[in-house]
Structure 1
Amino acid sequence: MNDLGPFAAQSVWDGSEMLECVSVIPETPNVATFTFRAPSDALFHYQPGQFLTLEIPAPGGTVYRTYTISSSPSRPRSISITAKAQADSIGTRWMLDNLAPGVRLKAVGPAGLFSHMVHPAKKYLFVSAGSGITPMMAMTTFMFDLGTEPDVVFINCARRPSEIIFRERLEHMASRVPGIDLKWVVEAPDRFAPWTGYQGQLNQLMLGLMAPDYLEREVFCCGPEPFMLAVREALQGMGFDMERYHQESFQAPAEKAEDLPEIDDTVPEAGEKAEVTFARSGVTATCAETDTVLAVARSSGLNIPSGCTFGLCGTCKIRKTSGEVHMVHNGGISDDDIAEGYILACCSHPIGAVEVEV
């Protein structure tokens, strides 16, 4: 008997036959899970975290859309994708409005490298935002179905508690297996529903509290690019080995290793020199890129009021008039302030020549 056990006599779906929709389950506003089966009753074989490409007969012409598989290969009789329609969605909007049991679609796949099976480890940290939760759901379900206790810290960020996709299913699994540690982060609570969990933007401080042993974990991240950039910067700032960081983009899931986009974030280099000019004081100081603007000011005999010194209180907010800094804060400054040129001196590292109003 082969690995398919009692299903050994059944064939494995290879993309040559269309998939038939068998159920549509609403998850949150504009989000639904679509479950498919093969008309021949073939089984599905893939790695959790991989994706499918669907051929969608949209009104303006056929479109091809890629969706992460949200089901687990440990349940091979069907395959599911969970999709969210954005304001400008074409394919997903068509699916939400038209896809129903009995409708058949052509699909290609499964494919992709974003799977914990590609990067096996003893401990995992899954970080996602919005519908970026789908590959994390597939990988967690697979671990749950193995029957052994996993070790995964599962972080998901959403606008409100009611918009956390798969919340009830994940909490059920976590209630049965101690090794699934769920952490929800929301921007705001729902009306008339108290929220006692994390609130605000995911930051370095939250990550350290949620997964104190983050240095020991293999990290998987999925969400919008600004979100993933914030996660990368937080991990880099905490000394994480980025060779153990893996991400999946909403726009460009990779099918082969050579398709993986190169992550080229601007980060402070210990051996690189920088220069900070304090315009009002008429002082220019040479420093390392790994020095903070606050530390450079103090070593130059200048006083910038400060409090927490890790980007939380906002006391050291100053205006940057030119140059680039690498700033990883913990909520002490707003996006509007950043757009207007303000930085927090305590967590801003100068990249090259920088001028500030001090």
Structure 2
Amino acid sequence: MNDLSPVPPQAIWKDAEMLECVSVIPEMADTATFTFSAPSGALFDFQPGQFLTLELPVPGGTVHRTYTVSSSPSRPRSLSITAKAQKDSIGTRWMLDHLAPGVRIRAIGPAGQFSHLNHAADKYLFISAGTGITPMMSMTTWMFDLGVEPDVVFINCAQRPSTILFRERLEHMASRVPGIDLKWVVDAPDRYAPWTGCQGRFNQLMLGLVAPDYLEREVFCCGPEPFMQAVRDALFGLGYDMDRYHQESFHEPAVTQADVPELDDITPEAEAKAEVCFARSDRRVACAETDTVLAATRAAGLNIPSGCTFGVCGTCKVQKLSGEVHMVHNGGISEDDIADGYILACCSHPIGSVTIDV
């Protein structure tokens, strides 16, 4: 006679139980994916995009390091984190040197608010750089495993094609599900390997090309702070509703909704008054913060040579002598020029009083 009694539910892992490392997969230089299981056989239950804090017994005493879970809760028998060691890394360097199958460590979590499950939408846009791809990997795997076609544009920026984490796995999923639209952006191609994707600094032009319906999408962003700042600037400058923008910091992931920081970026406001002063011409003109320096210059009856008016060609580069501007360019000016005080007049908005060498 068949036993038709119900199967008892399997226990869910709690962080009172240690994790056991079951595999270490090298991804690239100083980067590896560490997979853990619960010695008791318990399953892992968390939201895709959440993080885990590991207690690492480094020389000199235990340290706590936080890593986003790169696996998906749709595959609950194991849990993975993917970590890259920087030059000054202590915890991640110990993991690369000592964490091996059979080693057990303590962990706290999972926790965090950075998950698409907290922000239901019909369309998503994931933008990441470097190891900021890990929460996007977890969320995309969850969508793939549901078996229904999602609608997500997945943008990842890396130094070179060979440094794109999870590239093969993501391309495999995208080859099976048309609703996963992958877009790679690299600083430079690998030697002897032609690259036909996007290349250069991520900017508004790239965004419009790879995700033309970005205004309709819920945006999730993760990466170094300068990268996330550039993404925020690009979206704001294009009129995106920033209430639908969500980001996760490398260093300070939010444990609860109350911990999610308010973004206090300096952004131009139509009601705010500004002024552009012209040092050589001894003139000044009042304007709004949403006006560009180029528009204010023309209103003053002066001329700055210009071309594209979109921060690409660099024709309107002028030196800022004092004051602050909000500039969102698309590659038309170098970081060295910015450090020397130069701006592109076509895409710079005065914040308060600004003096330029015109």
Same fold per superposition (TM over 0.5): yes
Letter in 1 for 2:218: E
Q: Is residue 2:49 matched to residue 1:60?
A: no
Alpha-carbon distance in 2 for matches of 1:207, 1:27: 28
| Deviation per residue, 1:252-290 (Å, 9 max, x gap) | 000111111121000000001100011111111100000
Query: Which residue does the alignment assign to 2:12?
Result: 12
**3-state SS in 2 of match to 1:182:** strand
- After superposition, residues 105-144 of structure 1 pair within 5 angstroms as 105-144=105-144
What SS does the corresponding residue of 2:14 show, helix, strand or coil? coil
Computed over aligned residues only, the root mean square deviation of the Cα atoms, in angstroms, reads 0.9
In the alignment, what sits opposite 2:51? 51
Partner of 2:163: 163
CA distances 1:285-323 after superposition (whole Å, capped 9, x unpaired): 100000000011111111100100000000100000100
Tell me how far 1:8 sits from its aligned partner: 5.1
Which residue matches 1:3? none
What is residue 239 of structure 2 aligned with on the other side?
239
Q: Do 1:28 and 1:164's aligned partners in 2 also have CA atoms closer than 8 Å?
A: no
Decide whether the 8 Å contact of 1:289 with 1:351 is kept in 2: yes
CA shift in 2, pair 1:274/1:177, >3 Å: same
* Residues 18-69 of structure 1 deviation map (CA, whole Å, 9 limit, x = unaligned): 0000000011221110000000010000000000000000112110000000
SS at match of 2:325: strand
Query: Are residues 333 and 147 of structure 1, via their aligned partners in 2, closer, same or farther at CA, if it must alter by over 3 Å?
Result: same
Which residue matches 1:306? Answer: 306
Structural mapping, 1:52-91, within 5 Å = 52-91=52-91
Q: Does 1:248 align with 2:248?
A: yes
Aligned structure 1 segments of 4 or more residues deviating by more than 6 angstroms: none
**SS of residue paired to 1:172:** helix
1:117 is paired with a residue of what secondary structure? helix
Name the counterpart of 1:326: 326
CA distance in structure 1 between the aligned counterparts of 2:215 and 2:134, rounded to whole angstroms: 24
Which SS does the other structure have where 1:269 is aligned? coil
Shift of 1:17: 1.0
Give the % identical residues: 76
**TM-score, length-normalised on structure 1?**
0.98
Residue in 1 aligned with 2:225? 225
Supply the distance in 2 between the matched residues of 1:259 and 1:194 (Cα, whole angstroms).
44
Residue type of the partner of 1:106?
Answer: R
Matching residue of 2:340: 340
Deviations 1:52-108 (A, max 9, x none): 000000112110000000000000000000001011100001001110000000001
Change in CA separation of 1:7 and 1:246 when aligned onto 2, cut-off 3 Å: farther
Shift of 1:7: 7.8
Alpha-carbon separation, structure 2, partners of 1:318 and 1:161: 35
Supply the AA of the counterpart residue of 2:303: N
Residue 124 of structure 1 aligns with an amino acid whose one-letter code is Y
Residue matched to 1:185: 185
Distance 1:8 1:145, change over 3 A: farther
